[in-house]
Amino acid sequence: MSTRAGFVALIGEPNAGKSTLLNRMVGAKVSIVTHKVQTTRARIRGVAMEGQSQIVFVDTPGLFAPRRRLDRAMVAAAWGGAADADVIVLMVEAHRGVTEGVDKILEGLAEIGKGRTVTLAINKIDKVPTEKLLGLAQKLNESYDFAETFMISAEKGHGVEDLRRWLGSKLPEGPWLYPEDQIADLPLRMIAAEMTREKLTLRLHQELPYQMTVETETWEDRKDGSVKIDQVVYVVRDGHKGIVLGKGGETIKAIGQASRIELAEFLDRKVHLFLQVKVRPNWQDESERYSQMGLNFKDGN
């Protein structure tokens, strides 16, 4: 039986459930999942096996109307991920339906989707009645010629196996791109930074999560099998530093503890995690920060 391998891009509005679906498909947490929108910054690749097919998922940032340089770079990364893929999956939230944002994505697909297999995944189906789902599927298929339509709940797993089987069958024949046991092609340093950023995003509110970034400065494998990780949280002003630290440092301590526990589980080894908070007013205008996030600085122009 011949092997297949290829790239599948998950696209959609922010919070459509792309990261949840990626983690469900891969069977491990490789992408940051929060209730806040626009949390995925880099194109995260997760690798899933389906029979003799190796599916390399590209979890792109949500597509939205960009305001800042970072926003523009994220949107460019999302469309870039779609343009590089063998198969594109458009995810639409069942309860939100065809929003202005979905309309804009459909317009973009008219160009990007040419010559590619594009399928529709209506997510969060448990939130609406069946007749509404069928109406939404019909409306979307009238707007774009999708190869197939799947009704799924990424969070609960409904319909996900059917989608994965179908995707595996649509990839080109060829050798696998990664070792069979590899689940992501992101450097561990970056996955670690993303995990800490997720904890910050969950703990803090309003605009602050979008005004900060996390970088793994050092990664030291110790002789006893444990790992020492030093990370820096960059914020844009002194006031933000105080919020991240919290009274008596309690906020950053709680964030560090939550991140350390998850990292230890992910890496299956003991983790010593040390966090610092630094003020860097213009980090969103520094090309080096974008490289760390896997984004192209020039795309933010």
Instruction: Write down the residue that tokens 């469900």 correspond to.
Output: 24
Say yes or no: do domains 4-170 and 188-300 share a fold: no
pLDDT tens-digit profile, the chain (301 residues): 689 998 888 888 878 888 889 888 887 655 544 444 444 445 556 788 899 998 888 766 554 444 555 555 655 555 555 557 889 899 999 999 998 888 888 888 888 778 889 999 999 999 999 889 999 999 999 999 999 999 999 999 999 999 999 999 999 899 988 777 666 655 677 778 888 988 888 888 654 655 788 888 888 889 998 989 999 998 888 888 888 898 999 999 999 999 999 888 877 789 999 999 998 887 666 666 555 555 555 655 5
Contacts of 250 (CB under 8 A, 6+ apart): none
CA-wise closest residue to 36 among 155, 202, 243, 284? 202
Backbone angles phi, psi at 42, to 5 degrees: -95, 160
How many other β-carbons are positioned within 10 Å of the β-carbon of residue 200?
24
Which two structure tokens, joined as six digits, stand for 300? Answer: 């933010």
Amino acid at the residue 288: E
Q: Class of the 4-170 domain?
A: alpha beta
Which two structure tokens, joined as six digits, stand for 265? Answer: 């589980």
Domain boundary assignment for the chain: 4-170, 188-300
The gap between the terminal CA atoms of the chain, to the nearest Å, is 47
Backbone angles phi, psi at 105, to 5 degrees: -65, -40
User: Would you put residue 288 in left (φ > 0), alpha (ψ -120 to 50) or beta?
Assistant: alpha
For domain 188-300, say whether CATH 3.30.300.20 is its number.
yes
Amino acid at the residue 76: A
User: Would you put residue 3 in left (φ > 0), alpha (ψ -120 to 50) or beta?
Assistant: beta
pTM of model > 0.95 = no
Output the pLDDT for position 23.
82
Backbone angles phi, psi at 260, to 5 degrees: -60, -45
Which two structure tokens, joined as six digits, stand for 297? Answer: 């600085």
Q: What angle do CA 133, 137, 140 make, to 5 degrees?
A: 135
Report how far residue 80's alpha carbon sits from residue 91's, in angstroms, rounded to the nearest whole number: 17
DSSP for 128-158? S-HHHHHHHHHHHHHHS--S-EEE-BTTTTB
Strands 53-59 and 4-12: parallel
Report how far residue 102's alpha carbon sits from residue 92's, in angstroms, rounded to the nearest whole number: 7
User: What secondary structure letter does DSSP report for 60?
Assistant: P
Report how far residue 259's alpha carbon sits from residue 265's, in angstroms, rounded to the nearest whole number: 10
Output the pLDDT for position 37.
41
